[in-house]
Structure 1
Amino acid sequence: MSFISMKHLWKHYGHKPVLENLTLDVAKGEFVSIVGASGCGKSTFFRLLLAEEQPTRGQLLLNGKAWPSEPDADRGVVFQRYSVFPHLTCLQNVRVALEFRQSPLLARLFGGAKKEADERAMAMLEAVGLAQARDRYPHEISGGMQQRLALAQSLIREPEILLLDEPFGALDPGIRADMHELMRGLWEKHKFTVFMVTHDLKEGFALGTRLLVFDRVRVDPQAPDAYGATITYDLPVRRRDRQTYNELSAEVRTRMPLSRGTDVLEETP
């Protein structure tokens, strides 16, 4: 049985199909990179996984059972813009994730429970290289550090699934390379299942074990919104060396029409 399974899944907004007839099986622990032209349904797919949206028809299954109907602690999420609490320190930002789980109404812990949560939060800050910034506020640290903090906040609750929505797109190339190394290390250690939306083809190959390309395979010039997007390519990334990247990216570039959104072809220098 697949960990995550989609069977003939469709998503409409009103009468407009955005995704059509998706069928996909994902094993536990895979790192799935998602690329595609603007407007091809990547964000809608992401919201379905997060349970912010529900399929119009078809099946979305987790361990053979119906997908949860709302976001929960088993799915961590990191967005492109730094989604941390500005009024909390780094330590408090990570600890609050545990506080919401153990005390959802008060979001506060006391005594031994608070001490244990602080210890776990500090261990996670150390894992993402932020131990020295424990008492600093988000506006006092760099963008790359804020993304490390967002990762720590998501991972402290040990989610089975991690959803990344262009998490490194706003970072400078050097900082992005550091974040890639951090992300690989965390994934190799914890083996959570990752879905990462990116416009950077090189990033998708560098981090993923699998690359999904979204596109509209049917286009009606008289009614451009008549058809939705689907998964046009599902490529395994078995070796993260330059030859593999060149071969697979050449295949994607050759088969993706340039006239329908070139953002899938972007690369980090």
Structure 2
Amino acid sequence: MSAQPKVSVQNVAKIYAGTVVLERLDLDIAAGSLCTIVGASGCGKSTFLRMLLSQETPSRGRILIDGEPLPTEPTPDRGIVFQRYSVFPHLTVEENLILSSEFDAAPFSGKLRGAARTKAREEIAETLDRIGLSPARDRYPAQLSGGMQQRLAIAQALLKKPKILLLDEPFGALDPGIRADMQELLIELWRELSMTIFMVTHDIHEAFKLGTRVLVFDKIRHDPDAPDRWGATITYDLPLGRPGAQTIPDAKALFALKNTTRGDAPNA
């Protein structure tokens, strides 16, 4: 008997004001997978992440987590990191991380004091160590490099100990050296914390380097008289080995392949 998937996407479609963005999404994702998502701009990759987070709801179909319907609102067990750093510039690294605990413990004042604040500092110390930011705990975001700012954004997402981590092109703005460091950090965190990760990237080489599974989103049905009639779907679903061990194919060769997992789609 096969294990229940961590995430099950069942005949999901997303339609905005008559424009079909995504259609016929069907996949099961095992717990502990690191799924990388690639595809042309505007093909619904970020929309898919927002549906997994519950920022958007499917127009058709359903998404299950551990066999249960996806909650209608974002929950702490699903963290997200964007390409743009979601940090507060007027707060230090430590204060940015403490803020989440303050809102949880003191929703009206948004402040922790005395022993409660000391406890919060102790709780984030492990996260600071894990993410390599302990030496920078008293610095402000403007005093950090791009890689350190992105480490801070990832640390924010990890504080709630999410079972599912959603990454929307998190390393796209980093230079190649820092990007390689962040890729290695992500692999380390994935192995250490046993999270299920969905990561959107525009870099197919990054997708194959990091992913245990690569999902390619694209439109395979086109109507020149009604361009909004069809949406993107998963045209390739490629299982891989462990991160860092894959053979990275030539991008042109990959996208020239015929669909080997779904068969040719009808034109209408």
Kindly state the Cα deviation for residue 256 of structure 1 after the two structures are TM-superposed.
Answer: 7.7
Deviation at 1:91, TM superposition (A): 0.6
Give the whole-Å Cα distance in 2 for the aligned partners of 1:242 and 1:184: 12
Determine whether 1:90 maps to 2:93. yes
**Within 5 Å, which residues of 2 pair with 1:32-51?**
32-51=35-54
Q: CA deviation at 1:252?
A: 2.0
Counterpart of 2:266 in structure 1 is: none
SS of the equivalent of 2:156 reads helix
Q: For 1:253, which of 240, 252, 255 is the aligned residue?
A: 255
Matched, 1:59 2:59: no
User: How far apart are residue 121 of structure 1 and its match?
Assistant: 1.3
Whole-Å separation in 2 of the counterparts to 1:34 and 1:172: 21
Whole-angstrom CA distance in 1 between matches of 2:93 and 2:245 = 37
1:207-226 matched pairs, under 5 angstroms: 207-226=210-229
Structure 1 pair 137/14, CA: closer, same or farther in 2 (3 Å)?
A: same
Partner of residue 29, structure 1: 32
* Structure 1 match to 2:104: 101
- Deviating 4+ runs (over 4 angstroms): 239-243
Tell me the distance in 1 between the aligned counterparts of 2:248 and 2:13: 31
Residue 241 of structure 1, CA deviation: 5.7
In the alignment, what sits opposite 2:71?
68
Taking structure 2 as the reference length, the TM-score comes to 0.90
> Paired residue for 1:227, among 218, 230, 238?
230
Task: State the SS of the aligned residue for 1:84.
Answer: coil
* RMSD, matched Cα: 1.8
Q: How many residue pairs align between the two structures?
A: 256
Deviation at 1:251, TM superposition (A): 5.2
Distance in 2 (CA, whole Å) between partners of 1:28 and 1:251 is 30
Letter of the 1:154 counterpart: A
- How far, CA to CA, are the matches of 1:79 and 1:92 in structure 2? 20
Residue identity in the other structure for 1:244: T
- CA distance 1:253–1:103, shift in 2 (3 Å): same
Q: Is 1:204 aligned to 2:195, yes or no?
A: no
Deviation at 1:126, TM superposition (A): 1.6
Within 1, Cα distance between the matches of 2:242 and 2:156? 30
Q: Distance in 2 between matches of 1:15 and 1:100?
A: 39
Tell me how far apart the structure 2 counterparts of residues 99 and 243 of structure 1 sit (CA, whole Å): 42
CA distance in 2, matches of 1:16, 1:31: 30
Q: Give the helix-richer structure, 1 or 2.
A: 1
Structure 1: gaps of 5 or more residues: 258-269
Contact 1:237 1:244 in 2 (8 A): no
Do residues 14 (structure 1) and 14 (structure 2) align?
no
Matched residue, 2:132:
129
Percent of paired sites with the same residue = 54
1:98-138 Cα shifts (integer Å, max 9, x gaps): 22233333332233332221012122112111111111110
Conservation of the 8 A alpha-carbon contact between 2:209 and 2:245: no
Q: CA-to-partner distance for each residue in 1:22-48, whole Å, 9 max, x for gaps?
A: 111111111110000111111111111
Query: Residues of 2 paired with 1:147 and 1:37: CA distance?
Result: 24
Relative distance call for 1:191 and 1:239 in structure 2 (3 A) is: closer
Rounded to whole Å, the distance in 2 between the matches of 1:251 and 1:27 is 28
The SS at the match of 1:235 is: strand
Work out the CA distance in 2 between the residues paired with 1:203 and 1:243.
11
**Counterpart secondary structure, 1:245:** coil
Q: Distance in 1 between matches of 2:98 and 2:249?
A: 42
Any stretches of 5+ residues in structure 2 without a counterpart? 260-268
1:254 partner letter: A
Within 1, Cα distance between the matches of 2:239 and 2:183?
Answer: 19
